Every structure is written in structure tokens, then in C-alpha cells.
Copies of this chain bind each other. A is one copy, B any other.
Amino acid sequence: MQRPSLVVLKIGGKVLEVPSELQKALQYFAAIEGPKILVHGGGKQANHIISALDIEPKMLNGRRITDAATLEVVTMVYAGLVNKTVVSQLQALACNAMGLSGADGNMIRAHKRIVKTDDYGFAGDIDEINAAAIQQLLDLGFCPCFCAITHDAKGQLLNTNADTIASQLAVAMAKGYDVQLQFCFEKAGVMTDPDQDDSIIPVLTPSLYELHKGSGAISGGMLPKLDNAFAAIDAGVSAVWIGHLMALQTGAATKVTAT
């Protein structure tokens, strides 16, 4: 039996920060037919609250450590302000959005990242996605909208990377659905030269990825995003697309595939 299609759209970066860009992205999501799931980050919007509350930003290897005070702020901003803004705007677009953290309905269970040498605080690594419960919500016609907060089922909320949530959600749902995973951000796609829009890689295979990593053409924040994308493909997701809104709409975004 053919699996029904499901779109998992992750929005982040400037798309979330500029209201007109967010509105366009939500119009795109609202217009997608059939079952769909939205995942959003919200990183920079937390920064001004963190500084207003005089919380000292703690960094380790270029990554923020989520101490208890920072966890409170990201819970407020991601699960509160950003999530409910997104949900209310989707509702106005006749999309029956339902905002969720991983704690709600025990949808995403995680554990506090194991301390080897570096302690990133209340950062969560995902243990289990509750695909059955998510499918129940989809069957009722709701569009789940996940923020980047999970829980450990023992009362602890955890800050979790939104790209990772999107790809692991896509993987978990791939057992029952033909899943298209889309990463929407401010760049047109995966590019070999960030200053040249025409350097988009239309199709990225594992061997091409190794090549571009080796030459340094793909680097930085794109690496974990692409590692997530390839892991999702390997685990049964049908296709992963990376690009800005217009590129996703026209099919000009980078398509990540196994071969």
C-alpha cells in the first residue's frame, strides 16, 4: 500500500526574525495540501531577553551552554512567544495549527546530553519521537507546530536543536508516510560560494558532499544541517530540500539524495 505524503517544514534564521518573511513562509506552509508538520527554531529572538535579564551568555566551543536561567528564557521565547505567534498566524490562514513542545503529549522524549569532557547544560539529545500520537493529531486534521524544546519525561525541559528535531521527526514519521523534509532558511540552497547565488548545488549526493567538505566549499553551520539531512535520507525519508522560500516553491533548492 502506498504511504500517504507528509511534508515536514523547518523554518529558521532570518525567516523567523523578519515578520514579512515569516508571514510568507507561513502562507507557503498553510497552502501545502495534506498532512504537514512545522518545526521552528528561534535562537536570536532569545538573545535580547537574555541580555535584558543580565544573564551572562556562556559559550563552549562556539556553542551556547544552556544553563538553568537560559533554559527558562528559551522556553519562554521558543514555546511561548514564537510558537504562539506562528500558531495564531497560521490559524488566520485557515491552517489548523497546534503548537507543541516535546513535553506536550510526551511527543519528543530526550535526555540531557551526556557530559564527557564538555557540559552543554540543559541541551537535549532525542531518545524517542511519539509517532503514533503525532499521527493521531494529523488524523484529526491538526497541523503540529513544534518548537525546539523537549523533555526527559522526569520533569526536565531540554533545549534541542530544531534541525535535529525536524530530521528525527521526518524519520519517525517515514514508517507511515512518504516524507518530504524541507529546510527553509535565508539562503537559496547549499552553495559552493556563499557570495554567488548561481553556485547552488542542485543535487547533493554523499560523494559530492565529501568532495565539497574536503575542499572547504561547504563548512560551518551547513555541516550539521547536511549531516542531519543525509541521516534522514538513510533512515527512510523520501527527499530533503534545503533553500529559501522561493527556491523551495520553484524546486530550485538543493535536493539531498542518497544517489
Which residues on the B side are within 8 Å of A101 (C-beta)? 84, 87, 99
Can you tell how many copies of this chain the complex includes?
A: 2
Q: How far is the CB of A88 from chain B (nearest CB, A)?
A: 4
Query: How distant is the Cα of A154 from the Cα of B99 in the complex, in angstroms?
Result: 17
Query: How distant is the Cα of A194 from the Cα of B233 in the complex, in angstroms?
Result: 65
| Count of chain A residues near B, Cβ 8 A | 41
Whether B81 lies near A72 (C-beta < 8 A) is: yes
Whether A92 lies near B155 (C-beta < 8 A) is: yes
Of A103-111, A203-211, A241-249, the segment with at least 4 beta carbons within 8 Å of chain B is A103-111
Q: How far is the CB of A121 from chain B (nearest CB, A)?
A: 16
Which residues on the B side are within 8 Å of A117 (C-beta)? none
Q: Give chain A's interface residues, CB within 8 Å of chain B.
A: 49, 52-54, 72, 75-81, 83-85, 87-89, 91-92, 96-101, 103-106, 133, 136, 140, 142, 149, 151, 153-157
